[in-house]
Structure 1
Amino acid sequence: MPKVVVFDEVGGPEVLRVVDEPIAEPGAGEVRVRIEAFAVNPLDQMVRAGQSPRPIQLPHARLGAEGTGVVDALGAGVTGPAVGDPVILAAIPDFEARGAYAEYTTLAADRVVPRPDGMDPVDAAALWVAYFTAYGALVERSGMRPGDHVLITAASGGVGRAAIQIANQIGAVPLAVTRSAAKEPDLLAAGAAAVIATDREDVGEATRRHTGGTGADIVLDAVMGPGLAELSLAAKLGGTLATIGWLDPRPASFPANPSLTIHRFMGFADMVNPVITRRVAAFLAAGVRTGVLRPTVDRVFGLDDIVEAHRYLEKGTATGKIVVRVQPT
C-alpha cells in the first residue's frame, strides 16, 4: 500500500512516522496526484511542534504544504488536468485528510498548476511556496518595478534567494542582507547586486550607500522582531515595507519610518485565488524557461528519512530548500 507520513501528537521530529494506507479515490472536482517530491518547510515544523496558525485535529494529522508529481486519476467533472500531466500543488492541503508528505494525495483540480517543461521533480518541489511568496510580496503587493532597489532580509533562505532572482527578472536591484560576511560570495553568485552583512556594518548606512543616499524603494523582511523599527529606516521616504515571515519570534517593534506603506503578506491566502495563481504560474514558467529562476536545493532526503529531514530543518543551517524525493510503490 502507499506510504504517508502522519503524527498522533505534537512534539519533536520523532513524532513523525511513515505508515501504509489504502489509496484514496478523488472526489468530484478533484485529482489524485502521485507525488514525486515535496519540500520540508518551516510551516511544517510549526504544525508538528504544536505552533500551527490554526487548530490541527489529532491523531493522524498530516503535513506538506508543497510538492510535485503526476496526475494519476480524475474525479467526476474534472475538465482541466489530464491523467499523466506533471503538476505542482498550488495551494496548501488540509492537515487532517491530505498533505504532500505522501506517495499519493488528492486535492481540488483547480489547486494544481502545470509543472514547467523539463523541470526536475526535486527542483519543482522547491519552487512554488518560496517563489510565490517572493513574487506575491514584491510584485502583487509592493508593485516592484525595473530600477527599484529592493532590500531583502534572510537572503540566504529559500524565499530570500527567490526574491533575488525575481528582482533580477523584473530588472530591479536586489540588495541581500545576511548575518555573516562569509555568505557574501554565495549571495553574489546567486544574483545579489550587493551584500550587507550585519556582523560588519549597519544595515541602514549600508543601504543608503548602495542607493545614492535615498534608501531602498522596497524592504522585504522575513525576520520581524525588535529589529523591525531600525530596519524600516533603511527604506526611503514614501517607500514600502513588506513582511513575509517571523524568523524572530519576539514581538516586532513598530516601524520607525512613518512614511512607509506596509504590507503583511501571507502567501497561502493568495494561493487559493485562481486568478493570482495563474498569473504567478505563468511568471514562474517564463523564468524557469529562460533560466533566470533556479531553485536552490540544499539537501535531498528519502521518504523513510523524514525524521532526519525535520532534524536537519531544525538546525537552521540550510542554505536552500530541503526536499524529500518520494519513491512511489
Structure 2
Amino acid sequence: MATIVRFHELGGPEVLTFDEVPLQEPAKGEVRLRVLAAGLNRAEALYYRGQYLEQPKLPSRIGYEVGAVVEAVGEGVDANWIGKGVAAIPAYGMNQYGTLGEQAVVPAFALTEYPANLTPEQAAAAWMQYLTAYGALVFAGKVGPGDFVSIPAASSSVGLAAIDTVRDAGATAIAVTRTLAKKDELIAYGADHVIVSSEEDYAARVKEITGGKGTRLIFDPVAGPYVETLAAGAGQESTLFIYGGLSMQPTPFPLMQSFRTGLSVRAYSVREITTKPERLAVAKKYVFDRLADGRFVPKIAQTFAYKDTVEAYKYLESNQQVGKVVIRVP
C-alpha cells in the first residue's frame, strides 16, 4: 500500500486528501516510481479548481513533476531504469498520470535522468520551467544576442527560468513584477532590468531600457487587459507568447499596436515540445547540459513536508514566493 494525494471534489487546496491505495503495477510502456520530491505548478492549482486545459475525472490524482527512483518497469521498458534516479517531466495529462504521492506510475518516455550535481528536490524543480521557457524563447522565438525580452510574473519558477534562458542566449532580460518587494531579489537572481508594474509606466521604461527599440519577445503567463500594455512596449516584428491565463479575465487583441509594429500574438503551451518526440529529445538535452554545467540552477523558494501538502499549495497560490515550491516525500 502507498499514500497518494488526490481530490474528490473541485475547490481550493483544502480539497486535497491523502488516500491509501494498493501499490500500482506499471503497464506496457510504463514505470513505477518511488517519489522523493515533488515540484508544484500553477497548472495543478487550476486543475483542482476545474479551470485547467483538461477537466479532472473525480477522484483525480494531481502532480506533474517529481524527483524519484525507478522501482519497477512494465513490458517493453528497459530494465536498466530500475534503481536509477530520475525526474518525471510534464509530458502527460494528470487525469491519467498524477504523480504527487509516495508512488507514481508514469510513461517511460516522460523520464529523464538528472545530472549528479542536482538533489531530488532540484530535479523536481527544473523541467516544467526550463522546458516551458525553452519552447517559447529558444525553439519558437529564436532568442539571441541583441534581443530585449520582457518577462511578466518574473518571480515565478518559469519566469526565473526565462531569465536564465534569455541571459544564456546573450539577450537582455527585462523582468516585470507587480510589487517592489521582489525587485532586489530579481536583480540578484540575474535580471538585467526590473520594471515594477504597479509603480512604473511600463511602455516608457521599456523605451528607456531599449533605447526606443522595444522588446522583440514577450513571455507572459497572465494575459487579460495588461496585454495591451505589454504590446505598447513591443518593437518591430515582435512576438508576444501567452502561456497562461492567470488574470482569469478576457484578453483583448492589441490590434492597433499590431498594425504599427507587426506584432504577433500567440498562445503557447509546453505541450508543443513535450508531445513531439523529436522536439522533446532536443529540449531535454538543452536543459540537461545547462543543469549539469551550472548555467541553470533551479531556485527553490520553500520546501514543505509531505504532510503539509495543503499548506504548500496555499503558499503557491499566495504569490509570495520567488522560485519553485517543493514537497519532500515522504
Band of TM-score, shorter chain? over 0.9
Whether contact under 8 Å (2:11, 2:49) holds in the other structure is yes
Matched, 1:324 2:304: no
What's the counterpart of residue 86 of structure 1?
A: 85
Task: Give deviations 1:104-148, integer Å, cap 9, x for gaps.
Answer: 111221111111222111111111111111111101111111221
Q: Cα offset for 1:81?
A: 5.6
Report if aligned partners of 1:91, 1:272 keep a CA contact under 8 Å in 2: no
Match of 2:174 in 1: 175
Residue 257 of structure 2 is aligned to residue 263 of structure 1:
no
Relative to structure 1, the CA distance from residue 181 to residue 109 in structure 2 (aligned partners, 3 Å threshold; closer, same or farther) is same
- The one-letter amino acid paired with 1:308 is E
* Aligned partner of residue 167 in structure 1, secondary structure: helix
In the other structure, the counterpart of 1:232 is 231
- Partner residue, 1:288: 291
Report the 3-state secondary structure (helix = DSSP H, G, I; strand = E; otherwise coil) of the residue aligned with 2:149: strand
CA 1:230–1:185: 2 relative to 1, 3 Å: same
In the alignment, is residue 216 of structure 1 matched against residue 192 of structure 2? no
Check conservation: 1:141, 1:263, Cα contact below 8 A. Answer: no
Counterpart in 2 of 1:272?
Answer: 275
Deviations 1:78-118 (A, max 9, x none): 13861112111123444345311111111221111111222
CA drift of 1:272 comes to 2.2
Aligned to 1:159: 158
Partner residue in 2 for 1:125:
124
Normalization by structure 2: what TM-score? 0.94
Contact kept? 2:31, 2:71, Cα under 8 Å? yes
* TM-score (norm: length of structure 1): 0.94
Instruction: Give CA deviations for 1:228-279 in whole Å, capped at 9, x if unaligned.
Output: 1121121111112111111211111212421112331111342122222221
Identity in percent = 35
| Matching residue's letter, 1:315 | S
Distance 2:28 2:191 in 1: 46
Query: Given that residues 90 and 277 in structure 1 are in contact (C-alpha distance below 8 angstroms), is that contact kept between their aligned partners in structure 2?
Result: no
Post-superposition CA distance 1:155-213 (Å, at most 9, x none): 11111111001111111111111112332211111111111112332111111111111
Paired residue secondary structure (1:144): coil
Is the 2:214–2:234 contact (alpha carbons within 8 Å) kept by the matching residues of 1? yes
How many residue pairs match? The answer is 326
- The letter of the residue matching 2:8 is D
When residues 254 and 94 of structure 1 are mapped into structure 2, their CA distance, relative to the original with a 3 A threshold, is: closer
Which ranges of 4 or more aligned residues in structure 1 deviate by more than 4 Å? none
Equivalent-residue separation in structure 1 for 2:154 and 2:79 (angstroms):
37
Aligned counterpart, 2:99: 100
Taking structure 1 as reference, are residues 63 and 81 closer, same or farther at Cα in structure 2, changes over 3 Å only? farther
**Which segment is superposed worse, 150-159 or 80-89?**
80-89
Partner of 1:17: 17
| Native 8 Å contact 2:37 2:124 kept in 1 | yes
Deviation of 1:314 (Å): 2.4
CA 1:109 to 1:275, structure 2 compared with 1: closer, same or farther past 3 Å?
A: same
Change in 2 beyond 3 A, CA 1:34/1:93 = farther
| Structure 2: distance between partners of 1:50 and 1:243 | 20
SS of equivalent to 1:84: coil
Q: Indicate conservation of the 8 Å contact 2:141/2:217, yes or no.
A: yes
2:303 paired residue among 292, 300, 303: 300
Q: Structure 2 regions of 5+ residues with no counterpart?
A: none
* Partner SS for 2:236: strand
Distance 1:81 1:199, change over 3 A: farther
Contact preservation (8 Å) 2:301, 2:325: yes
